[in-house]
Amino acid sequence: MKYEFKKLFASPLMWIMLALTLGYMVFLPLREVWGNMGETHSSAKGYSKALEAAVSEGLTGDGLRERADALIFWGVEELQSDEDYVPQYSTTPMGDFIAMSRASDTLRYVERGFEAERAELVRGMIMQNVSERQKSRPDSYLIAANEKAISIYNRRIALEPVSTGTDESTRYSIFNYSMWEYVMLALCVLMTVRLISLEYRSGAYRLVNTSRRTVQSLYWRKYLTVTLTSTAVLMIQAVFELVFCMTVFGLDNLRQPIQQITMFEMCPYHLSIAGFYVIKLMLRLLLYITVISITAAVTVLVRRPLISVIISLVLAAGGLLANMVCYVMLHNSQQKRLGVLAVYNRLREMLPQSLLNIKEYLISFDHFSLFGMPVSRLVVCVAVSEVITAGCAFLGYFASGKIRRSV
C-alpha cells in the first residue's frame, strides 16, 4: 500500500489539487462570513446568555418578549447614548433587543409552537384519510402515506429551552453545494485516473501482467489507496466545518434532537444534531466512493488518461450541476413549479450527488410511491448509490485482468 501512496503523490499535479481542495475548504466559508464574523459570534453569545437568563428566572416566551418590547418602548436610540444603561447580553441596547427577541422565539417554539404545528399536521392527515375513504375510489397510496406519516409524527420528541446557535440557514448553506464540492469531486477523479492508468502510460503493465490474480489485486490496492486518501480529506473538512460552526455560529448542545433547530421542525426522523452531522459525513463519503468506483471502471475500460478524466468529470459533476440547476429553477419558477418539482424529486431519488445536501430530505415527510407503498427518497438514493458503487467497482475489477492480459 505504501508504494501506491508514493506513486499517487509523486506527481506535482496531485499536490496542487490537494492544496486547492484544502484551500477552497477554508476560503469559501471565510468568504461568506469574513465581514461579520465578530458580529455573528457576538450575536450567538448574546442570544445564548439571554436564553439562559430567562430559563433561570423562569420566564416564558411571552414574558421575555415583553422585556424586549420594553427596550423599544423606552427607545433604543436614547438608550444608546445613555451612559447609565449597561447592556446585559451584548455590547449595545440593540444587541440586547435582538438577543432577547431570538431567545423569546426559541422559548415560544419549545413551549407550544413545536407540538402545536406537528399536532395540526397530524389532524390534517387524519381528516384527509377520513375524507378519502368516503370516496368511491379512494387513493390507497395517499392513505398509506398518511398513516405512515401519522405514526412518525405522533412520536414524542422532548425539546429543551437551550441554545443550538444562531443563523442556522447560513451555517448549513455555506457548506452545501459550494465550489468545494466540485474541487473535491475533481480530486477524486484525478487521483483515481492517475493511479490506475499509471502502468499504461509507463508501459509497466508488461511487467505486472503475469496473472489475472496479480493484476486484480493491484487494482484493489489502487482503489483502496484513493478511497483512504479521499476519506482523510473529507474527515479534515468535517472537523473544520464542525469547529467553524461552533466558534462562529455558536453551535452547541449537539445531543439535542435535530428538531431543536427550527428549520428541521418537520423532520420525520428521531435524530440528534450530532447524529445529523455523522450521517451527513457518511453519505458524502458514500458519494465520493461512488465517484471513485465510476472513475475506476471508466479508466480500466478506456485506458486513455485524458479521455478517462473527461468522461469521469462529466459523470461526477454533471449530476451535481443538474441538481443545482433544477433547484434554482424550482425556486424561481411560477407556472411550471409542479413540473420542476417532479423532475427535482426524480433527480434526488436517482442521483448519488443528492447526498451532498441531505437537508432537503429531512425538512419534511419526503416519501414517494413504490408499488403503492410510501418509501423514503433518501433510502432509495442511498440504495441506488450503493448499487452503482458496487457494480462499477467490480466491473473495473473483472475488466482490469481481462484487458491487461489481452494487451
Cα separation, 200 vs 188, whole angstroms: 19
Would you list the DSSP string of 175-213? Answer: TSS-HHHHHHHHHHHHHHHHHHHHHHHHTTHHHHTT-HH
Cα separation, 222 vs 18, whole angstroms: 18
What's the confidence (pLDDT) of residue 407? 42
Residues 6+ positions from 230 with CB-CB distance below 8 Å: 184, 187, 188, 191, 285, 288, 289, 292
Cα separation, 38 vs 205, whole angstroms: 57
Residue 206 scores a pLDDT above 60: no
Contact 195, 4 (CB under 8 A): yes
Contact 180, 274 (CB under 8 A): no
C-alpha cell at 73: 418602548
Q: What percent of the chain has pLDDT over 90?
A: 30
pLDDT in tens, 331-378: 776 666 778 888 888 999 999 999 998 888 998 898 988 887 899 999
Residues 6+ positions from 392 with CB-CB distance below 8 Å: 290, 293, 294, 296, 297
C-alpha cell at 260: 431543536
What average pLDDT score do residues 17-26 get?
90
Q: How confident is the model at residue 187 (pLDDT cuts 50, 70, 90)?
A: very high
Pairing outcome for strands 367-370 and 373-376: antiparallel
Contact 8, 191 (CB under 8 A): yes
Cα dihedral across residues 39, 41, 46, 48: positive or negative: positive
Residue 282 scores a pLDDT above 90: yes
Residue 226 scores a pLDDT above 70: yes
**From the CA atom positions of the chain, what is the Rg in Å?**
26
Angle, in degrees to the nearest 10, between helices 93-108 and 61-74: 160
If you search the block for the grid coordinates 485482468, which residue do you land on?
401
Mean of all residue pLDDT scores within the chain: 85
Q: How confident is the model at residue 178 (pLDDT cuts 50, 70, 90)?
A: confident
C-alpha cell at 229: 486518501
Angle, in degrees to the nearest 10, between helices 305-332 and 179-202: 160
pLDDT in tens, 58-80: 888 888 888 888 776 656 555 55
pLDDT in tens, 303-312: 888 899 999 9
Q: How confident is the model at residue 10 (pLDDT cuts 50, 70, 90)?
A: confident
Helix (H, G, I), strand (E, B) or coil at 382: helix
| Residue 116, CA distances (Å) to 88, 123, 259, 266, 365 in order | 32, 10, 14, 12, 17
Residue 406 scores a pLDDT above 50: no
C-alpha cell at 87: 447592556
- What's this model's pTM, rounded to 2 decimal places? 0.87
Question: Which of 178-182, 199-203, 210-214, 267-271 is modeled with the greatest confidence?
Answer: 267-271
Residue 212 scores a pLDDT above 90: no
Nearest 5°: the CA angle 318, 322, 327 is: 150
Under DSSP, the state recorded for 373 is E
| Residue 145, CA distances (Å) to 72, 129, 270, 341, 370 in order | 47, 10, 18, 19, 11
Cα separation, 356 vs 171, whole angstroms: 15
What's the confidence (pLDDT) of residue 292? 96
Residue 316 scores a pLDDT above 60: yes
Comparing 123 with 199, which gets the higher pLDDT? 123
Helix (H, G, I), strand (E, B) or coil at 375: strand
Would you list the DSSP string of 228-278? Answer: HHHHHHHHHHHHHHHHHHHHHH----TTSBGGGSGGGTT--S--BHHHHHH
In the chain, what's the furthest Cα-to-Cα distance?
Answer: 88
Nearest to 404 by CA among 245, 193, 192, 215: 215
If you search the block for the grid coordinates 474527515, which residue do you land on?
235
What average pLDDT score do residues 6-14 get?
82
What average pLDDT score do residues 249-263 get?
89
Q: How far is C-alpha 84 from the geometric centre of its chain's CA atoms?
A: 47
Q: How confident is the model at residue 166 (pLDDT cuts 50, 70, 90)?
A: confident
